[in-house]
Amino acid sequence: MNTLKTFFFLMVLTSLLLFVGYLLGGMGGIIVALIFSLGMNFFAYWFSDKLALAMTHARQVSEQEDPELYRLVAEQASMAGLPMPKVYVIETDSPNAFATGRNPQHATVAVTSGIRRLLTRQELGAVLAHEMAHVGNRDTLIMTVVAAIAGAISMIAMMAQWAAIFGGNHNDNRGSNNIVGLLIIAIIMPLAATLVRLAISRAREYQADQTGARTSGQPYALASALEKLEAGAHARPMKVAEGVSHLFIVNPLSGRSLVNLFSTHPPIAERARRLRNMQPNF
């Protein structure tokens, strides 16, 4: 169901991009919008993981430096049938974790120092299983494409906004209609693209919960971990750019979701409920 939702929302987002291009320039505008989106996707595909690690001040650790963490990541990667990812640590009391990388062969898992003090070994293992699920489900690639398309829509909308401002002196009906169309593109389309992007992000979190619980066999431990992480992130929010907040297992900015439509993460209570409805052994 989450996969179907993701596919549906991706189609909606792509349709929005093509529609914006068509409104601005007909078939030529569609082609320009596609080229613009492909260029942004290419950049994001190769560099988004490096940017995320740099923005969170993550530091890579070797097996010799941190054998326990390395062993735990290796266990979950093996159970998921995935290559061993690079392991990073973020020095902060805020408890959290994320995964990134363009594919399973170039994946990275990062955990904060705070999460290791808060969770039991079983709970941390379940969290790492969730992150390996993101890797196996290629969620980083999916969300990179989604963010690039949404970003393309926003940038085209910004151009439409300037066109509306400097083209606002037309007096005929056609000019008035053009201004109205440009304003719709400038205001409505970025909002619609954002809502779709956030809906896809929430669907991928549910999917990673389910996949991680199945590979680790620990849905109850993951549910308990999520509840602890929400409380911990609320007590000690993480100073991180909003643009990478969707990568983390719980919202690092406050630990509390905003209105559901505008949240990158599903409600923790609902995630925990779904996990506890799963059988602990598979």
Higher pLDDT, 169 or 148: 148
| 265 phi, psi to nearest 5 deg | -125, 145
Instruction: Round to whole Å and give the CA distance between 79 and 173.
Output: 65
What is the per-residue pLDDT across 81-96, written as a single tens digit (0 to 9) for each? 999 999 999 999 999 9
Over residues 5-22, the mean pLDDT reads: 72
Residue 239 scores a pLDDT above 70: yes
* Cβ atoms 139, 210 nearer than 8 A: no
What is the per-residue pLDDT across 89-115, written as a single tens digit (0 to 9) for each? 999 999 999 999 888 999 999 999 999
Instruction: Round to whole Å and give the CA distance between 86 and 65.
Output: 13
- Average pLDDT value over all residues in the chain: 82
DSSP-assigned beta bridge partners for residue 99? 109
Q: How confident is the model at residue 47 (pLDDT cuts 50, 70, 90)?
A: confident
* Cβ atoms 120, 246 nearer than 8 A: no
Instruction: Round to whole Å and give the CA distance between 215 and 126.
Output: 9
Instruction: Round to whole Å and give the CA distance between 280 and 49.
Output: 33
Q: How confident is the model at residue 241 (pLDDT cuts 50, 70, 90)?
A: confident
Listed in order, strand segments (DSSP E) in 55-173 are 59-60, 86-90, 97-100, 108-112
* Cα distance from N-terminal residue to C-terminal residue, the chain: 20
- List of residues 6+ apart from 224 with CB closer than 8 A: 123, 272
- List of residues 6+ apart from 268 with CB closer than 8 A: 226, 227, 229, 230, 250, 257
| Residue 212: Cβ within 10 Å count | 29
Instruction: Round to whole Å and give the CA distance between 140 and 41.
Output: 12
DSSP-assigned beta bridge partners for residue 98? 110, 248
Question: Which amino acid, 260?
Answer: N
| 99 phi, psi to nearest 5 deg | -125, 150
Paired tokens of 43: 């950049």
3-state secondary structure of 192: helix
Q: How confident is the model at residue 267 (pLDDT cuts 50, 70, 90)?
A: very high
Active site residue 131: yes
Helices (H) and strands (E) in the chain, counts: 8, 4
Three-class secondary structure assignment of 44-60: HHHHHHHHHHHHCCCEE
Catalytic residue among 131, 205, 242, 270: 131
Burial degree of 61 (CB within 10 A; 0-12, 13-18, 19+): middle
- What was the pLDDT predicted at 90? 96
What is the per-residue pLDDT across 169-211, written as a single tens digit (0 to 9) for each? 554 544 445 566 666 677 777 788 888 888 888 999 999 999 9
Residue 282 scores a pLDDT above 50: no
